[in-house]
């Protein structure tokens, strides 16, 4: 698959300010993404990128810092025949404290300077890659700049987590929308930029095959496993305030559920897609605090071994309290109370230091209604299953029954596999490439609208509150390298089902 821009359309002239320019996200994800867009011919003809932060960097030192990030984290490294040199000429740094209102005049000056250099007014994008506590303050100060009132040219990108709970998310929305029009606000969830996630819409709505059976009449249950092998990796300060529910479920996992469960959009307009997704969020059953134990399981990793290496327990991680109640694992059974999905459970689990790095969505169909084959074939008679591997594997597998070659009617389950690597040449773009390009082009389809974020918080709030009310008594309760606590197995086993792990091809 080619990431090259072959159709010669580029976003309009752009000036991108990155608050948190000196931070991890910019070095690891944003700058590599911008450089890849540049290499592939997607950056605007005229663009400037300005990193902001309190750290004292010269332009040169800042570029070197980004270059190091590209060397370490990007899918394409280094100079690339002089392209880095060319790209880096578009990059600069402004040392400023985001809390110092007077310093914002530097931004206004920079806009004027770039405007003169470009000979036109560029789109001005403020990317807030800073800790969530800083976002309101920076947004208010930006909002006071005249240029932010320009709803056509100016946009603000807000990283996750968006708020800490429903109340703070609501307040942040109120604040942002008092400064900016909704169209100017891009609430980012990087899962929505993943190719394999975007492909769910293509799979479901560009094919006539699946939609007629995509409902409670044919689907037994759905499950999502989002497992990471990494621990909190020095992010203890952030993670202590977050935990798996806020870090992964409230945003990424609920968005995956939306993609899998939404109704067909009438068109591909941003608000149409968002409306269909918000319908799913609003229909997700709000369990009461007292019911939480029956629907949700939490876990925290102990010290142990991961593939031969000794790893710390969560409570021994930097900036983590010795008796921390923070969950590094969550498994939840959701229901969507609507016509399409009534009584179809959606099991999700996510966690750190698990057995494998994998995100897969499994759609388990019901057994065929009548079995007409010889009794001996019944043992291998399996219902159909569609497995969408989001990462790191990128494929879709449809399991169905086949007749095993031979003189007897013996059934065996086989997989029909669509694999990105085999189907397309080259690399797929990283999520941040896709989403940054969307922001520059002014396409908010894959970004969260205010009501979507709040609806998502409403779904997880009872669980958050119940867990805060009743601190865990058994933490740590799973070993690194496992699939999480035993209770997570019980959550699904109680319903006579089991978690699907890696979709290994069926070979008999």
Ligand X SMILES: O=C1O[C@H](COP(=O)(O)O)[C@@H](O)[C@H](O)[C@H]1O
Side-by-side strand order, sheet with 185-187? 91-95, 47-53, 14-19, 123-128, 154-158, 185-187
User: Can residue 131 be called a binding residue for ligand NDP (CB under 6 A)?
Assistant: yes
Q: Supply φ then ψ for residue 75, to 5 degrees.
A: -70, -25
Q: Which does 228 bind (CB under 5 to 8 A by kind): ligand NDP, ligand X, none?
A: ligand X
Q: Which is nearer to ligand X, 195 or 247 (CB)?
A: 247
Q: Which stretch binds ligand NDP (CB under 6 A): 94-102, 211-219, 356-364, 395-403?
A: 94-102
Q: Which does 476 bind (CB under 5 to 8 A by kind): ligand NDP, ligand X, none?
A: none
Contact in structure between 390 and 192 (CB atoms under 8 Å) = no
We find the least distance from the C-beta atom of residue 194 to ligand NDP, in angstroms, to be 13
Q: Which does 99 bind (CB under 5 to 8 A by kind): ligand NDP, ligand X, none?
A: ligand NDP
Residue 233 assigned ligand-binding role: no
User: Can residue 317 be called a binding residue for ligand X (CB under 6 A)?
Assistant: no
User: Can residue 159 be called a binding residue for ligand X (CB under 6 A)?
Assistant: no
Per CB under 6 A, which of residues 216..235 are in contact with ligand X? Answer: 228
Residue 343 CB neighbours (<10 A): 9
Active site residues: 252
**DSSP states of 158-216:** EPSP--SSHHHHHHHHHHHHHHS-GGGEEE--GGGG-HHHHHHHHHHHS-TTTGGG-ST
Radius of gyration of the chain (CA): 24
User: Can residue 99 be called a binding residue for ligand NDP (CB under 6 A)?
Assistant: yes
Q: Which does 428 bind (CB under 5 to 8 A by kind): ligand NDP, ligand X, none?
A: none
249 Ramachandran zone, left/alpha/beta (phi>0; psi -120 to 50) = alpha
Q: Which is nearer to ligand X, 228 or 415 (CB)?
A: 228
Question: Shortest Cβ contact with ligand X: which residue?
Answer: 247
Angle at 38 between CA 26 and CA 51, to 5 degrees: 30
Residue 100 assigned ligand-binding role: no
Tell me the per-residue interface mask from 242 to 261 with ligand X, x by CB under 6 A, - otherwise.
-----x--------------
> Which tokens sit at 351?
């966690």
Long-range contacts of 212-219 (CB under 8 A, 24+ apart): 213/365, 214/340, 215/340, 215/341, 216/340, 216/341, 216/342, 216/343, 216/344, 218/365, 218/366, 219/344, 219/363, 219/364, 219/365, 219/366
Q: Which does 163 bind (CB under 5 to 8 A by kind): ligand X, ligand NDP, none?
A: none
User: Can residue 433 be called a binding residue for ligand X (CB under 6 A)?
Assistant: no
Question: How far is residue 296 CA from its own chain's centroid?
Answer: 21
We find the least distance from the C-beta atom of residue 247 to ligand X, in angstroms, to be 5
Q: Which of 11, 14, 20, 385 binds ligand NDP (CB under 6 A)?
A: 20
Is the Cα torsion angle 124, 197, 247, 68 positive or negative in sign?
Answer: negative
Locus of tokens 């405007």: 115
Residue 190 assigned ligand-binding role: yes
Q: Which is nearer to ligand X, 247 or 395 (CB)?
A: 247
Annotated binding site: 54, 160, 190, 194, 228, 247, 352, 357
Residue ranges in contact with ligand X by CB under 6 A: 228, 247
Residue ranges in contact with ligand NDP by CB under 6 A: 19-25, 28-29, 53-55, 97-99, 129-132, 134, 159-161
């Amino acid at each position: 698959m080619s990431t090259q821009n072959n159709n010669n359309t580029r976003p309009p002239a752009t000036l991108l300010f990155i608050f948190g320019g000196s931070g991890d996200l910019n070095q690891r994800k944003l700058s590599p993404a911008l450089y890849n867009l540049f290499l592939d011919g997607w950056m605007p003809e005229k663009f400037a990128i300005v990193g902001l932060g309190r750290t004292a960097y010269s332009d040169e030192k800042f570029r070197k810092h980004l270059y190091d990030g590209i060397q370490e984290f990007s899918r394409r490294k280094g100079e690339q025949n002089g392209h880095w040199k060319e790209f880096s000429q578009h990059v600069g740094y402004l040392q400023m404290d985001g809390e110092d209102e007077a310093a914002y005049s530097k931004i206004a000056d920079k806009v004027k300077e770039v405007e003169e250099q470009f000979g036109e007014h560029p789109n001005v994008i403020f990317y807030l890659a800073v800790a969530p506590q800083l976002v309101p303050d920076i947004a208010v100060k930006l909002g006071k700049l005249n240029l932010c009132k320009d709803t056509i040219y100016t946009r603000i990108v807000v990283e996750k987590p968006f708020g800490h709970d429903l109340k703070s998310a609501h307040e942040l929305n109120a604040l942002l929308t008092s400064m900016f029009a909704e169209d100017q606000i891009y609430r980012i969830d990087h899962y929505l930029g993943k190719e394999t996630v975007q492909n769910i819409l293509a799979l479901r709505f560009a094919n006539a095959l699946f939609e007629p059976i995509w409902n409670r009449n044919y689907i037994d249950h759905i499950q999502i496993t989002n497992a990471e092998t990494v621990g909190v990796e020095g992010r203890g300060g952030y993670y202590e305030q977050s935990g798996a529910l806020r870090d992964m479920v409230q945003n990424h996992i609920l968005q995956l559920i939306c993609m899998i469960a939404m109704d067909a959009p009438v068109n591909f307009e941003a608000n149409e897609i968002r409306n269909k997704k918000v319908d799913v969020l609003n229909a997700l059953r709000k369990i009461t605090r007292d019911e939480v134990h029956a629907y949700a399981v939490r876990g925290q990793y102990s010290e142990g071994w991961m593939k031969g290496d000794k790893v710390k327990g969560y409570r021994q991680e930097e900036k983590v309290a010795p008796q921390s109640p923070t969950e590094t694992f969550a498994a939840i059974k959701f229901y969507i109370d609507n016509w399409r999905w009534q009584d179809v459970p959606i099991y999700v689990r996510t966690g750190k230091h698990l057995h494998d790095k994998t995100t897969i969505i499994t759609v388990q169909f019901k057994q065929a209604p009548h079995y007409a084959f010889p009794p001996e074939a019944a043992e291998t008679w399996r219902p159909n299953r569609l497995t969408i591997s989001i990462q790191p594997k990128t494929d879709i597998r449809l399991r169905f029954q086949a007749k095993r070659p031979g003189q007897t009617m013996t059934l065996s389950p086989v997989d029909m596999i669509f694999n990105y690597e085999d189907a397309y040449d080259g690399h797929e773009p990283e999520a941040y490439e896709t989403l940054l390009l969307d922001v520059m082009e002014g396409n908010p389809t894959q970004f969260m609208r205010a009501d979507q974020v709040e609806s998502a918080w409403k779904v997880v709030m009872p669980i958050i509150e119940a867990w805060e009310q009743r601190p865990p008594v058994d933490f740590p309760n799973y070993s690194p390298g496992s699939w999480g606590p035993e209770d997570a197995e019980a959550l699904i086993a109680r319903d006579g089902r089991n978690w699907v792990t890696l979709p290994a091809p069926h070979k008999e």
